[in-house]
Amino acid sequence: MRFLEEAAKLGEVHVLLWSDEAIRSVTGCPPKFPYAERLYFVQATRYVRQVHASGPELVPDTLPALDLKPDVWAVSEKDAGAAKKAFCEANHISYHIITAAETTGFPAPKPQPPTGRKKVVVTGCYDWFHTGHVAFFEEVSALGDLYVVAGNDANLLLLKGEGHPMFPQEERRYTCGSIRYVTEALISSGSGWMDAEPEILNTIKPDMYAVNEDGDKPEKRDFCKKHGIEFVVLKRLPKTGLCKRSSTDLRGF
């Protein structure tokens, strides 16, 4: 996502997404996640204008014929090479290397302009971020402008134990805020199941608090009743056609 954000500073980002067959032909191994799931995730990233599918075969140091003529081919420092540069020179495409230094750190994503709809808040760990989270954000965003509060590191350690979180709070906030369905992402400053209480009451002031069935806790219901916030419980469903994902299953503990 940091790479895509930096690429977006050069212009509208079009992603050439390798097909499952292309990955096998280049690496000799199948992808960890199928094409449809990778496509859904990349399309949900706010820095991306459009995703284009590769064919079943791919030459990594060239670009296939696309339905647009790119002005720039942006590559990461580790993927840069003379062959890519030569291809760009031969095809009159600017060649741009995004360095590792440019993608360090996780700046707070700039909030997207509110639409004037109701404000909806969601809270959670968002530790190993996956398409289930994206689908949840997409569904909740249909209810109003979506505000995400990622749990702070100390509270996740308190609630979940040693080894949590895998990713620091700034990175988790950055990932959530990089999804196009999110208006703004914040980090909680409280503790317990209502660690986001300060952000909810003092900053967001939402009309609704949405959770999935796993997040339906008595403390949250009582909090919403006390403060006049509508409490919405959604079923935990994957995007149609995609596998059901769990952070616990993905990280293995």
Instruction: Encode pLDDT of 19-78 as tens digits.
Output: 999 999 999 999 999 999 999 999 999 999 999 999 998 899 999 988 899 999 999 999
Using one digit for the tens of pLDDT, what is the confidence trace for 152-170? 999 999 999 999 999 999 9
pLDDT of residue 253: 62
pLDDT of residue 67: 86
CATH number for the domain formed by residue range(s) 119-251: 3.40.50.620
β-pairing, 72-76 vs 208-212, is unpaired
Confidence band for 248, pLDDT divided at 50, 70 and 90: confident
Domain limits, CATH 3.40.50.620, in the chain: 2-103, 119-251
How far is it, in rounded angstroms, from Cα 11 to Cα 226? 47
- CB 79, CB 103: distance < 8 Å: no
This prediction's pTM: 0.95
Q: Which of 112-116, 159-163, 180-184 has the lowest mean pLDDT?
A: 159-163
Give me the architecture of the 2-103 domain, per CATH.
3-Layer(aba) Sandwich (3.40)
The torsion angles phi and psi of 146, rounded to 5 degrees, stand at: -95, 125
Q: How far is CA 39 from the centre of its chain?
A: 12
Q: Looking at residues 1-5, what average pLDDT do you find?
A: 98
Confidence band for 228, pLDDT divided at 50, 70 and 90: very high
